[in-house]
Amino acid sequence: MSNVFPENFLWGGATAANQFEGAYNLDGKGLSVQDVTPNGGVPANPGDKNPLITEQPTEDNLKLEGIDFYHRYKEDIALFAEMGFKVFRMSIAWSRIFPNGDETEPNEAGLAFYDKVFDELAKYGIEPLVTLSHYETPLYLARKYNGWANRELIGFYENYVRTVFTRYKDKVKYWLTFNEVNSVLHAPFMSGGIATPVEELSKQDLYQAVHHELVASASATKIGHEINPDFKIGCMVLAMPAYGMTSNPLDQLAVREFENQNYLFSDIHARGKYPNYIKRYFEENGIDIQFAEGDEDMLKNTVDFISFSYYMSVAQAHNPEEYGSGRGNVLGGLTNPYLESSEWGWQIDPVGLRLVLNDFYDRYQLPLFIVENGLGAKDVLVEGPNGPTVEDDYRIDYLQKHLVQVGEALKDGVELWGYTTWGPIDLVSASTAELSKRYGFIYVDRNDDGSGTLARYKKKSFAWYKDVIATNGQALYK
Ligand code: BG6
C-alpha cells in the first residue's frame, strides 16, 4: 500500500514545562499557578468551585518535582532520538524567564536552560515546537492582576514573547501561542491565571479575559513574524467533537452551540475577527466586550497553522439532565453509548479524530498539526528480558487506531504537518495532578505519593512507536 503520510511528516511527542521539568524554584524561577494547585486545575464538574488552590506550594504537589527533566533532559532527549522523533513539543515556563511576569528584564539563567535544551535537540536533528504559555501563568500575575482578566497582561506577555522569540530565533521555528486556548472558559485559574473563584466570575469578565488572550495571541504572531519571517506560529485549541444524542433537531442545535464555544477561538485565530454567531450569544448574555483602539486591526494577524489536542468526543442533547454525563478533558459532555471510556472516563473515539481533521481543514484550508493525543492509563511495571518494562498493548491499540484515522483524513485531502503524542515520557497529569495517569512510551519510576527513583524504563510501546516513525506510518498497516 502506498504511503499516505507525507514525506517530512513531523512525528514526535508533546510535554509541558510544569508537568515534567520540576526544579520549580531553582535558578531564579518564580512560581506559576500550577505550583499552588496540588489537586490539578480542573473543576470536577462544570460549574464546580475552583479546585484546591494553596497559598504556597505544598509538598503533596507532584508538579514541583515533576519527573526532573530539568536535570535529566540529556538522557530523555536521547531516548526520544532513539525512537526517531522528528519534533518535540515543549513549553517554556514563563516564570523561568520572568519570575513575576511583570519585570522588564529577563532571568538569564532561565533563558540559558532552554538554550541547552534546544541545542541538545539540534544534536539529534529534532525540531522543537514550543508552546509559549501552557497552563503556567506566573502566580504573581494571578495574585496581583487577576491574570488574563486584566488587560495589562497583554503587555507582559508581549514582553515575554519578544524576549524568547529574539533569543531563540535561530533555534526554534514552530511556536504555539496558548495551550488549549479555549479551556479558559472552563478552568479559568489553571488556563488563564484568573484568581476570582469560578462561582463569582461573571461571563462579562470571563469573555473579556478571552478577548485579552486573543489580542495577545495575534500580537505574538505579529511580533514573531517581524523577528523571523520564517517562523510558523499557530494557535492551539482543545478539540472535542460532539454528536447529537438523538436525531432530534434540537439535539443537533445543542451540538452546534457546544461546538461554537470552541470554534470561536480557532475562527478568530484563522479569520482575524469575531464570528457573527458569538455576537448573538454576547447580546443574549449581556456581554459587551471592550475593544481598545487597535484591537480590531491586531486580530487580523492570523496564524500560519491550526494545532489541537484530541483525546475524546462527547454527546450533547437539548435535555442533558435526562442522560449521564461523562468526565472529560477540561470540558465534557454526555456519555455516548457507542463508545468505550478510559479508566478516567474519557470516551475513546478514533473516528472522531478524522472528523475533527476534516472539519478544521474544510473550515480554514490551513495546515493542521495534532499536538496532543494519547491514552492515560495505569501501568504495571514487570520484569522483561531487558529489565523492567510495561506491556502496554492497550496504549498501542489506542494510538494505532487513532493514527489509522489520521491516515484516512490524509486520504480525504487534509493537510497535516505532524503528530505529537501527549506525554511520550510519563509526567504529572494536568487535571488530576497524578503520576499514575501515565501516557508515556517511557515509564518513570515515580508514584502518586512522591516515592520512586525517577529511573526511566522503555515500555512495549517504545519499540512500536519507533517502528511507526521509521516506516513513516507503514507499520500501522502491518
Ligand atoms: C491537555 C493538556 O488538556 O490534556 C495537557 O494540554 C494535559 O497539559 C493533557 O496533560 C492530558 O490531560 P491530563 O489531565 O490527563 O493530564
- Locate the domains of the chain by residue range: 10-477
Query: Which atom, in ligand 1's list, is nearest to the CA of 329?
Result: 3
Model confidence at 2, pLDDT cuts 50, 70, 90, reads: low
Ligand 1 centroid to Cα of residue 245, in Å, is 26
Residue of the nearest CA to atom 3 in ligand 1?
A: 329
How far apart (Å, rounded) are the C-alpha atoms in residues 75 and 123?
13
* Per-residue confidence band for 326, with pLDDT thresholds at 50, 70 and 90: low
Mean pLDDT score across all residues of the chain: 96
Please report the pLDDT score of residue 46 as a whole number.
Answer: 63
Pocket of ligand 1 (CB under 6 A): 16, 19, 135, 179-180, 309, 329-330, 372, 376, 422, 429-432, 437
This prediction's pTM = 0.98
Containing 305, the helix (H) or strand (E) segment is: strand 305-310
Helix segments in 197-322, DSSP class H:
203-227, 249-271, 276-284, 295-298
Identify the DSSP state of 421: E
Q: Which atom of ligand 1 is nearest to the CA of 42?
A: 14
CA of 238 to the centre of ligand 1 (A): 10
Determine which residue's CA is closest to atom 5 belonging to ligand 1: 430
Say how far apart CA 119 and CA 126 lie, in whole Å.
Answer: 10
For residue 331, the model assigns a pLDDT of 77
Question: In the predicted model, what is the mean pLDDT of residues 23-50?
Answer: 88
Class at the top of the CATH hierarchy for domain 10-477: alpha beta
Higher-confidence position of 177 and 345: 177
Rounded (10°) CA dihedral 236, 372, 419, 92: 60
For 61-117, the pLDDT digits (tens) are 999 999 999 999 999 999 999 999 999 999 999 999 999 999 999 999 999 999 999
| pLDDT tier at 199, thresholds 50, 70, 90 | confident
For cell 454528536, the residue is: 243
pLDDT at residue 49, as a whole number: 74
Q: Fill in the amino acid letter for 144.
A: K
DSSP state, residue 29: P
Alpha carbon of 427 to ligand 1 centroid (Å):
10
Atom of ligand 1 nearest to the CA of 135: 8
33 touches 189 (CB < 8 A): yes
> Ligand 1: which residue has its CA nearest to atom 16?
429
Q: What is the pLDDT of residues 230-256, one digit of tens each?
A: 999 999 999 999 999 999 999 999 999
Nearest CA owner, ligand 1 atom 7: 430
Give the rounded percent of residues in the chain with a pLDDT score beyond 70. Answer: 97
- Catalytic one among 21, 65, 120, 372? 372
The 10s digit of each residue's pLDDT in 332-361 is 789 999 999 999 999 999 999 999 999 999
Q: Kindly give the distance from the C-alpha atom of residue 431 to the centroid of ligand 1, in angstroms, as a whole number.
A: 6
- Helix/strand/coil (H/E/C) assignment for every residue in 52-118: CCCCCCCCCCHHHCCCCHHHHHHHHHHHHHHHCCCEEEEECCHHHHCCCCCCCCCCHHHHHHHHHHH
pLDDT at 284 over 90: yes
According to the model, what pLDDT value does residue 96 have? 98
What SS3 class is residue 5?
coil
Tell me the pLDDT tens digit for each residue of 412-451: 999 999 999 999 999 999 999 999 999 999 999 999 999 9
- Name which of 87, 11, 2 is nearest 468 in CA terms: 11
Q: Read off the pLDDT band of 44 (50, 70, 90).
A: confident
Ligand 1 mean position, distance from CA 190 (Å) = 12
Q: Active-site residue 259, yes or no?
A: no
Q: Which residues pair with 91 in a beta bridge?
A: 131
